[in-house]
C-alpha cells in the first residue's frame, strides 16, 4: 500500500472523514491543515484569532501560516503520512514539492474526491461547524474552484492522480480508495 498520500476535494467531499479512517487502519500520520488551524484557534493565540476570522469567511488562511505549521510537522515524521486539505493552491503545492525533496519523501499518490455542489452544501449544512452556513459554503466552493481545483490538473500531469466518486456511502468510498492505492 502506498503511504505518502494527499487527499484533495471540495469542502465537504469527505477528505477528513476518509483520511481519519485510512490513517487509523494503515497507521499513517494524519496531517489535516483544517484541524491544525482549528487547534490554533482553540488555543486563543493571536495567530489563531486571525485565522478564525478568515476561516469564518470561507477564505484561505495565509500561505505563510499554513506552511510554517506543515513544515514543522513533516520534518518530525518518519513513517507514512497523509496530507488532508493541503496544498490548497499552486503556491502551496510548489512549496510542498520543495519540502518533500528536502526530506527525500516524494508524494506517491493523490486521491481526488469528486462530488456535485448540491450534495456538498447539504452535507455541510447538516454538519453545522462555525464555517458551515450557506453564504460561507458558497464562498468556500468558489475559492476551491479558483485556487484548489487547478491542482487536479497538476497532479494528473504528474501521473499520480486517482479520481474517486465521493457521492456514495462512507464505507463504499473507503473501499474505492483502498483499491486505488493497493
Binding site for ligand B4P (CB under 6 A): 9, 11-17, 33-34, 37, 54-55, 58-61, 66, 85-86, 88, 92, 123, 127, 131, 140, 169-170, 173
Nearer of residues 131 and 159 to ligand B4P, judged by Cβ:
131
DSSP-assigned beta bridge partners for residue 8: 112
- Where would I find the beta strands (DSSP E) of the chain? 4-8, 29-32, 81-84, 109-114, 161-165
CB of 95 to ligand B4P, least distance (A): 10
Nearer of residues 88 and 159 to ligand B4P, judged by Cβ:
88
CB of 12 to ligand B4P, least distance (A): 4
Nearer of residues 9 and 48 to ligand B4P, judged by Cβ:
9
How large is the C-alpha radius of gyration of the chain? 16
Q: How is residue 90 written as a grid cell?
A: 499552486
CB of 151 to ligand B4P, least distance (A): 11
Nearer of residues 46 and 159 to ligand B4P, judged by Cβ:
46
Q: Shortest CA distance to 120 belongs to which of 95, 142, 87? A: 142
CB of 14 to ligand B4P, least distance (A): 3
**Which residue's Cβ has the minimum distance to ligand B4P?**
34
The SS3 of residue 93 is helix
Q: Are 138 and 57 in contact (CB under 8 A)?
A: no
CB of 110 to ligand B4P, least distance (A): 14
Nearer of residues 120 and 159 to ligand B4P, judged by Cβ:
120
Nearer of residues 120 and 160 to ligand B4P, judged by Cβ:
120
Farthest-apart Cα atoms in the chain, separation: 43
Helix (H) or strand (E) holding 68: helix 63-76
**In angstroms, rounded to a whole number, what is the distance separating the alpha carbons of residues 45 and 29?**
25
CB of 133 to ligand B4P, least distance (A): 12
**In angstroms, rounded to a whole number, what is the distance separating the alpha carbons of residues 57 and 21?**
28
Amino acid at each position: 500500500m502506498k503511504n505518502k498520500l494527499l487527499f484533495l476535494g471540495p469542502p465537504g467531499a469527505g477528505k477528513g472523514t476518509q483520511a481519519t479512517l485510512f490513517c487509523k487502519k494503515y497507521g499513517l500520520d494524519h496531517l489535516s491543515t483544517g484541524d491544525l488551524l482549528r487547534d490554533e484557534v482553540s488555543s486563543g493565540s493571536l495567530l489563531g484569532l486571525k485565522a478564525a476570522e478568515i476561516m469564518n469567511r470561507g477564505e484561505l488562511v495565509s500561505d505563510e501560516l499554513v506552511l510554517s505549521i506543515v513544515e514543522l510537522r513533516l520534518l518530525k515524521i518518519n513513517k507514512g503520512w497523509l496530507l488532508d486539505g493541503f496544498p490548497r493552491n499552486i503556491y502551496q503545492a510548489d512549496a510542498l514539492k520543495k519540502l518533500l525533496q528536502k526530506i527525500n519523501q516524494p508524494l506517491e499518490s493523490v486521491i481526488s474526491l469528486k462530488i456535485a455542489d448540491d450534495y456538498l452544501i447539504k452535507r455541510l449544512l447538516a454538519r453545522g461547524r462555525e464555517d458551515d452556513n450557506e453564504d460561507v459554503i458558497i464562498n468556500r466552493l468558489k475559492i476551491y474552484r479558483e485556487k484548489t481545483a487547478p491542482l487536479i490538473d497538476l497532479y494528473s500531469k504528474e501521473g499520480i492522480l486517482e479520481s474517486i466518486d465521493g457521492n456514495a456511502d462512507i464505507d463504499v468510498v473507503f473501499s474505492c480508495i483502498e483499491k486505488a492505492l493497493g
